[in-house]
Amino acid sequence: MTAEQIRRLRKSFHLMARRADIAAYYFYRQLFEMDPALRPIFKTDIELQAAKLTGMLRETLELLEQPLEWSETLRDLGARQAEYGVKPAQYATVATALISMLESVLGEDFTAETRQAWVALYRSAAETMREGAEHALC
């Protein structure tokens, strides 16, 4: 990731975090509409899920300059998600819900460049999480 992409990610996250409850509601509504099989994986209420979503995004962004810690954190997350029953194909559904949520919550602040930065971040994160999931399932 470039320094400019990281700047865009952090700025857009900060804007999204101001509306974390709305963002989480939108994200999970989209996610469950696209793949109802994911609903049973999330057993807590939306407020707690909002905090978890915001916290995980914040941690992911904070660790961007610490690649080893970033990778370890995401591999651990992927392993936990595999234990909860998340399938590799569902990562694409999460990506779509995340980008859709950011677009909705950020409006005109979600520029093409900001979208590209989030897509690049999610692709890298999802790949790392899948590695953790594969290792956990072996």
9: its two tokens: 């990610």
pLDDT at residue 43 in the model: 78
pLDDT at residue 116 in the model: 98
pLDDT at residue 73 in the model: 94
Q: Are 124 and 64 in contact (CB under 8 A)?
A: no
Count the domains in the chain. Answer: 1
pLDDT at residue 135 in the model: 83
pTM for the whole thing?
Answer: 0.90
DSSP-derived secondary structure letter, 87:
-
Could you report the per-residue pLDDT of 20-33, keeping only the tens digit for each? 889 999 999 999 99
CATH at 24: 1.10.490.10
Segments in the chain below pLDDT 70: 138
Task: Please return the burial class of 100, using the count of CB atoms within 10 Å of its CB with bins 0-12, 13-18 and 19+.
Answer: middle
pLDDT at residue 39 in the model: 86
Domain extent for 26: 3-137
Q: Are 131 and 75 in contact (CB under 8 A)?
A: yes
pLDDT at residue 131 in the model: 93
Q: Are 118 and 66 in contact (CB under 8 A)?
A: no
